[in-house]
Structure formats: structure tokens, C-alpha cells
Amino acid sequence: MTSWGDHLRRTTELTLRLTMRDFEARYRGSILGVGWAFLTPLLTALIFTFVFSSVFQARWGTGRDGVDANFTLILLVGVLLHSMLAETLNRAAGLILAHSSYVKKVVFPLGTLPVVVVLGALITAAFGLLIVILGHALYSGRVEATAPLFILIIIPYLLLLLASAYVLSALGVYLRDIGQIVSFVVTASMFLTPIFYPISSVPPSFRTLMQLNPLTIVVEETRSVLLFGQAPNWQALAFLWMGALVALPAAIWVFNRLRAGFADVL
């Protein structure tokens, strides 16, 4: 038991150290440094707000029960959550290839690399989500009482992202063109998820299919608890949790099965 505990502690410390090193490397040498983590999502949301509200004259309307919400913050929530998906998938596709020395020369727990990618995406998005909470507090004069329920949404989302990272990082060793497939999927997911439009505007014949998209559930329920002051859809949340708890063990199994051939391919 002690040996297992020591191994877990060392692996956790290594994962956290690699995560922080990866995060610091993104902003090393830049003038604003970590300030870009705040500035990038805010500028992105402002650009999208201008394009969709001023150019296309789109209107979000209200929340589920007629609760007005700030258009920029609504967009920012969707953009941030999708950016976590985009960063995870894009990096995971070439993750093992980018760290081939860990496979060939060093005894290294390769299973920590997908975790580092997901944690890095979470840290980056956390700065933007802080802007959402503070912006909503300034806009409405309050922090919603339902905001703590966000933890019940983000955890299964992280588990699904981690499952995707395990599978893609393993497949990327054998299928070098998987990066192009991932790029298409990431772009398609941006427009097939209610990020720039309310799901109520989707034709009923397609709405049910779109609601099966896990990212749709994450985006919709996050807006509900952080901006609209509403409890999440518990049925949708249960579906998200079940999917995550099934997907992650399956993905780890796939990763462990495929990792045996990494050294031969690389």
C-alpha cells in the first residue's frame, strides 16, 4: 500500500510540475505574460459579439425563464468551453510524437501526458471563466447562487476531454494524418454547438440530435448556473456523467493496449 501511495504521490507531483512548466512556457518572453490568458478570451468574445450582434444583428433574447443575460458573457462561456476542447484535441493528436524521447530513452509514465494537456486547457480557460463571473457580477450586481454547481458540470467534461486525449494521443502514433481529421472536427464542433446562437433557434428536427452532443450539454448548463441563476438539467447532467465514467476507463484501456507498440513505430 505504501509503495502504491508513493507511486501515486510521485506521479501527481510530476504531473503538476509538467503542467506548470507547460503553462509558463506559453507566455515566457512575452511582454504581458500571463495577462494574455485574460486578454485573449476577452478580445475573442468582443470580436464575436461585434460580428454577431452588430454585423449579423443576432439577438440572444433571454434565459430559460426570461432572465436577461449579457450577450458578450454568453458568447464567452461558449468560446471558453470550446477552446478547452480545441486545445485538448489539437495537442493530443501529436502528443506522443512530440515527446518521442520519453518513449525511446526514458522510463517515463506516458499516461501523465494527456493529463497535462487537459489540465493546461483547464488553467487557460479558468482565467476566462473568472472574467465571466466578475463580468456577470458587475452586470447584474450579484454572483448567482447556482454558480457552485458548475463543479458538477466541469468534472465530467474534463473526464471526457481526458478520454479523448488518451485515444487521440495513442492513435496519433500510428495514424499521422489524424491531425487533419481533428482540425475538421474542432471546426465543425464550433458551429454544431450552440455557442453563437441559442439552442431554441435550432429547428426542432435537429434540436434533439444536437442535445446529444456532450459539448452542448456543458455549454448550456454552464450558462444556466453561472449566468441565468438556474439549476442544471439534472437528466442531461446524468447523461454527461454516465458518458464520462464509461469513456475514460475505455480510453485508458485503448491507450495501454496501443502503447506497447509505440517504441516500434517511433
Q: Which residues pair with 68 in a beta bridge?
A: 62
Q: What is the value of pTM for the model shown?
A: 0.89
User: What pLDDT score was predicted for residue 163?
Assistant: 98
pLDDT digits (tens, 9 = 90+) for 143-162: 999 999 999 999 999 999 99
Domain that holds residue 158: 13-265
Q: Is the pLDDT higher at 29 or at 16?
A: 16
Domain count for the chain: 1
**CA 203 – CA 215 distance, rounded (Å):** 18
| pLDDT single digits (tens) 77-110 | 999 999 999 999 999 999 998 888 888 766 788 8
Contacts of 43 (CB under 8 A, 6+ apart): none
Residue 35 lies in a domain: yes
Nearest 5°: phi and psi at 123? Answer: -60, -45
Say if 7 falls within a structural domain.
no
Is residue 198 in some structural domain? Answer: yes
Residue 2 lies in a domain: no
Is 66's pLDDT higher than 50?
A: no
The answer as to whether 4 is a domain residue is no
CB contact burial 132-141 (16+ within 10 A = b; e otherwise): bbebbeeebe
Query: Is 5 inside any structural domain?
Result: no
Look at residue 1 and tell me if it is in a domain.
no
Whether 8 maps to a domain, the answer reads no
pLDDT for the residue numbered 65? 41
